[in-house]
Amino acid sequence: MDKTFRIAPSILSANFAKLGQEIVDVIRSGTDIVHFDVMDNHYVPNLTIGPLVCEAIRPLTDAIIDVHLMVKPVDRIIPDFAKAGANMITFHPEGSEHIDRSLSLVRDSGCKSGLVFNPATPLHYLDHVMDKIDMVLLMSVNPGFGGQKFIPETLNKLKIVRQKIDAYYEKTGRQIWLEVDGGVNANNIAEIAKAGADTFVAGSAIFGSGKDADPNRYDTVVKSLRASLATI
């Protein structure tokens, strides 16, 4: 089984006035995935970016664009993100009346699909849709804002999902990624990896770290995240 660790900078904490350059710089510093947070001021109390921005950044990088939909409902907007160049689209079960249908819609639009679990959302939504999921995303903060503190109970939840994913892999040979989102930094990433995550969203830990204008400003923090991961 593949044990690769992937780092996914959340561009929510980037400098939006220079978004294109921020993305180029952060991927160049050794990260793998652009985590694209979409908020609608309805499902979550904040408003961010949509398909037009996804389309604008698509030509700047070959990295995976991982669209995290914090919107309700989800179905109307899924094909728009697929057309705008998203590679993965994840959504919250609470955002869809018909979860199985929405997962199929993501796949039929040509993207990898995933379900996102808030800290208090039970995992049973996974029970009958494992075949339709490419990634499970566990929120380690309540969705809506960057810069919040990691909720430690997420470690227990990660262990449970890791077991489910490994059992599924034994049965089918198909890998499902396990991503964690919220409050991840160089001090806790190793513990989070030990609990079973393989893909790590980091917003403020990466973008909060640099001064402007230096294209290598993200190297140090990304190196320290990698160094922590190398200890496990």
Q: Which does 184 bind (CB under 5 to 8 A by kind): Zn ion, ligand DX5, none?
A: ligand DX5
Q: Which is nearer to ligand DX5, 109 or 142 (CB)?
A: 142
Active site residue 198: no
> Which of 37, 40, 134, 198 is the binder for Zn ion (CB under 5 A)?
37
Considering only residues 207-226, where is the footprint of ligand DX5 by CB under 6 A? none
Tokens of residue 152, six digits: 């430690």
Q: Which is nearer to Zn ion, 68 or 112 (CB)?
A: 68
Does 13 sit near ligand DX5 (CB under 6 A)? yes
Stretch of 73-81, 101-109, 174-182, 190-198 contacting Zn ion, by CB under 5 A: 174-182
Q: Say how many C-beta atoms besides its own lie within 10 A of residue 9's C-beta.
A: 29
Active site residue 37: yes
Of 22, 52, 57, residue with least CA distance to 212? 22
User: Interior CA angle at 132 toward 200 and 129, to 5°?
Assistant: 100
Q: Say how many C-beta atoms besides its own lie within 10 A of residue 185's C-beta.
A: 19
Work out how close the CB of 128 gets to ligand DX5 at its nearest, in angstroms, rounded to a whole number: 25
Question: What strands, in cross-sheet order, belong to the sheet with 64-70?
Answer: 6-9, 199-202, 177-181, 135-139, 112-117, 88-91, 64-70, 33-39
Q: Which is nearer to ligand DX5, 45 or 110 (CB)?
A: 45
Does 66 sit near Zn ion (CB under 5 A)? no
Considering only residues 76-115, where is the footprint of ligand DX5 by CB under 6 A? none
3-class DSSP state of 72: coil
Q: Which is nearer to ligand DX5, 114 or 183 (CB)?
A: 183
Does 148 sit near ligand DX5 (CB under 6 A)? yes
First-to-last C-alpha distance (Å) of the chain: 17
Of 66, 65, 71, 45, residue with least CA distance to 145? 45
Work out how close the CB of 172 gets to Zn ion at its nearest, in angstroms, rounded to a whole number: 27
Q: Which residue in 40, 66, 134, 181 is the catalytic one?
A: 181
- Distant-in-sequence, close-in-space partners of 120: CB < 8 Å, separation ≥ 6: none
Tokens of residue 21, six digits: 């350059």
Does 188 sit near ligand DX5 (CB under 6 A)? no
Whether residue 73 has a cis bond before it, omega within 30° of 0: yes
Tokens of residue 24, six digits: 């180029």
Stretch of 13-21, 56-64, 177-185, 189-197 contacting Zn ion, by CB under 5 A: 177-185
- Which residues of this protein are in contact with ligand DX5, per CB under 6 A? 10, 12-13, 35, 37, 68, 141, 143-148, 181-184, 201-205
Show which residues are catalytic. 37, 181
